[in-house]
Amino acid sequence: MKKTRSKSGKIKAVYPGSFDPVTRGHIDVARRAIFVFDEVVIAVINNPSKKTRFSVGERISMLKKSLAAEGLGKIRVDSFEGLLAHYMKTIKAGIIVRGLRAVSDFEYEFQMALMNRELAPDIETVFFMTDAKYAYLSSSIVKEVASLGGDVSSAVPAAAAALLRKQK
Ligand code: ADP
């Protein structure tokens, strides 16, 4: 029997990712997740060997501001290093949340979900389909358009748009 619920009967979910930067697609998935689970923690991956445009501190700050602006302040933001399965055990969370856009996400997500199940059979991965209007959105396309001077305000929350403009 899986121990998805805490002793108090609550279900805590973790939405891990790079969020480099957060997009409206990420916020859409987080909103769907908090609709279903009692607690949601967005966990920013702190992987020193992966080059990111924004520091962990900047990514956390963008996420916190964006969630507050969307009335989603109930969602906590944290960061972690190393294995997700280990982090989940430390904070006693039983669900991994990931977002799916197109079929192209499937293979990678499938591989990761099965690997995480191998590492931690008690943890379940749950996928949310993004709103169709965000299906084409990715952090990398946002960074590319912003670096070329394009307006990305429809793709990212205001806090992310401001930082992208500043760091062009
Ligand atoms: P990672 O480096 O772990 O893939 P990302 O920040 O790129 O981190 O993505 C985190 C999660 O959010 C992934 O499950 C990804 O598929 C999902 N995601 C990214 N962009 C969107 C979007 N526009 N709509 C829904 N889900 C998305």
Judge whether residue 63 has pLDDT over 90.
yes
Class of domain 12-166: alpha beta
pLDDT at site 105:
87
pLDDT at site 3:
66
Q: Is the CB of 65 under 6 A from ligand 1?
A: no
Annotated catalytic residue 26 = yes
Residues 109-116 have a mean pLDDT of: 96
pLDDT at site 1:
53
Cα Rg of the chain, angstroms: 16
pLDDT at site 2:
65
Q: 7, 8, 50, 51: which one is catalytic?
A: 50
Output the CA 101–ligand 1 centroid distance in Å: 8
Q: What are the sequence ranges of the domains in the chain?
A: 12-166
- Ligand 1 atom 2 nearest Cα: 18
Cβ contacts of 94 within 8 Å, gap of 6 or more: 2, 3, 4, 5, 6, 11, 12, 13, 88, 122, 123, 124
Annotated catalytic residue 104 = no
Q: Express each pLDDT in 20-51 by its tens digit.
A: 999 999 999 999 999 999 999 999 999 989 99
